[in-house]
Amino acid sequence: MIASWLVPSLITLLLVVGAAYWLFERRYRRLIDNLYTQATTDGLTGLYNHICFQMRLREEVGRVKRYRRPMALLMIDVDGFKPFNDRFGHPAGDEALRMVAQSIRVTLRRVDLPARYGGEEFAVILPETPQAGAMVAAERVRQRIEALVGLAPLTVSIGVSTYDGAEQGAAASDVIRWADAALYAAKASGKNAVRLHSV
């Protein structure tokens, strides 16, 4: 039996140990959250990074094959970005990319996944989105970026591809290739345009 004079000391000890554990657990969770954010997020724009985009696109293509619910992919490229950088400098170019990323983010639904694909190129996964919806979303993004006020007008060209699972052998790389082909068509048409990949 524990002596009655020891009980307050044991309670105090348990409270101290419990508080220390709680603080350690909280710091540990914060550290894990920070590491996850660094591993999945582009440091400049705050959008998802290329690796996270690739993983999520493979998951989405697999989901389409299972459930036959369409998805779309937007490939977005900032028009004339090299001359912009040459004229205004890299810090201004970085700010322009942040502005474009923010415009993309606020234009989309919460379920959509915007990512920085690389350089001045962005990609957006649109789950459960048919062709018509993807074209509307792409045009909204294009218009919002065109309306940005900055050092110089910014525009983007956007390629759109959709996948409904009909081609069972298609992979995530095919969906990217289709959107890239549409992006090149948008650039070839004079830029500041949205084009759809037609199978």
CB 71 within 8 A of CB 129: yes
In the structure encoding, which two tokens stand for residue 25, read together? Answer: 């657990």
Given the residues 25, 60, 120, 139, the one annotated as active site: 120
Q: Is-catalytic flag, 60?
A: no
Compute the distance between CA of residue 73 and CA of residue 51 in angstroms, rounded to an integer. Answer: 16
Count of residues in the chain: 199
Which H or E run includes 70? none
Compute the distance between CA of residue 151 and CA of residue 168 in angstroms, rounded to an integer. Answer: 46
Compute the distance between CA of residue 196 and CA of residue 85 in angstroms, rounded to an integer. Answer: 29
Residue 183, CA distances (Å) to 18, 43, 101, 177 in order:
57, 25, 18, 10
Name the residue among 50, 38, 43, 160 with its Cα closest to residue 97: 43
A 10 A CB-CB count for 143 gives 13
In the structure encoding, which two tokens stand for residue 8, read together? Answer: 């307050």
CB 131 within 8 A of CB 167: no
How large is the C-alpha radius of gyration of the chain? Answer: 24
For the annotated catalytic residues, the residue numbers are: 120
